[in-house]
Amino acid sequence: MDDIIIVKDLVKEFDGIKAVDKISFSVKAGEIFAFLGPNGAGKSTTIKILTTLLKPTSGEILMKGYDPAISPDKVRQTFGIVFQDPSLDDELTAFENMEFHGILYHIPKEIRKKRIEQLLKIVELWERKNDFVKNFSGGMKRRLEIARGLLHHPSILFLDEPTLGLDPQTRNHIWSYIKDLNTSEGVTVFFTTHYMEEAERVANRIAIIDHGKIVAQGSLQDLKKKTKTSSLEDAFISLTGKDIRSEHISSMEQMRMRRRMFRR
């Protein structure tokens, strides 16, 4: 399999502080890749750089052969993304949100219509296509965002904490959609999560980042073997020295969680 994302010696500094410190990794086309790390480890910064929202301080990136610094629009066409926070317009309907996305990605009208129908049916929202997003549950919003992220046939789908704040049934549900789409659309999935068991269950390969550095990467077996542990959770603690969920939550995170609860 070819490498669809190649990152080499990537550095991002904010006012002299290295949020991402010379990381290198690659993601193979068609695989499900988990990117794990404690809060503030550099996950979101890395995703922002890969998705052209931030410019790196130094390092090389190739997304399906394109360099985000040189051809950002080419790169933008190659991926779809579900952000950590909901990024739908609540005051538009499900269909309008899809339509908006389709036009932004220059999808011709006929293809757009068919594709929206196909994807909304897959995530079981076709019946509710004319409902306002503000009336959707958290799980429905996530499904809609996943469908929207796939509308323009991206090669890569980024999922930043796709199941945060959702109940276990909904989380299972979301993952079954993602796995199906990974197979049927052949889309490479790059995701972050706080739930170790999710990464353990769905990821083909895993990278763990801590303090801006990649501390381990490989398959689940590789990580367990390296740390001589029996589960990803234990491997994670052994590599980073902390439990992913039990650490201090910043006030920003708290606000975000509260808002999430309030909105869903």
Partner 1 sequence: MKVIYILWLRQLKRYYRSKARMIGALGQPLLFLVALGFGFGPIYQKAGGGNYIQFLTPGIIAMSILFIATFSGIEVIWDREFGFLKETLVAPVSRFKIMIGRTIGGATVSVLQGIIVLLISTLFGFRPISIYLLFVSLIFMILIATLFTAVGTAIACLLTDMHAFQLIINFFIMPLFFLSGALFPLQGLPTAFTFIARINPLAYGVDGLRATLANSAQFGIFTDIIILSGITFIFLAIGSYLFSKMQV
């808002």: which residue's tokens? 259
Q: Does 57 bind partner 1 (CB under 8 A)?
A: no
Close Cβ partners of 217 (under 8 Å, ≥ 6 residues apart): 25, 205, 206, 207, 208
- Please pick, from the candidates 53, 62, 69, 237, the single residue that binds partner 1 as defined by CB under 8 A: 53
Does 185 engage in binding with partner 1 (CB under 8 A)? no
With CB under 8 A as the contact rule, the residue among 2, 60, 91, 253 that binds partner 1 is 91
Q: Exposed, middle or buried: residue 14 (CB in 10 Å: 0-12, 13-18, 19+)?
A: exposed
User: Which listed range, 84-92, 113-121, 201-209, 229-237, lies at the site for partner 1 (CB under 8 A)?
Assistant: 84-92
Shortest distance (Å) from residue 58 CB to partner 1: 17
CA 95 to chain centre: 22
Contact 41, 69 (CB under 8 A): no
CB 157 → partner 1: shortest distance, Å? 12
SS3 198: helix
Q: Tell me the closest approach of the beta carbon of residue 52 to partner 1, in angstroms.
A: 6
What three-state secondary structure class fits 114? helix
Q: Which stretch, 98-106, 110-118, 166-174, 190-198, contacts partner 1 (CB under 8 A)?
A: 98-106
Q: If you ran DSSP here, which 8-state letter would residue 10 be given?
A: E
Footprint of partner 1 on 13-52 (CB under 8 A): 48, 51-52
Residues 52, 76 contacting (CB under 8 angstroms): yes
User: Which residues contact partner 1 by CB under 8 A?
Assistant: 48, 51-54, 72-74, 76-77, 79, 81, 83, 85-89, 91-92, 96, 99-101, 103-106
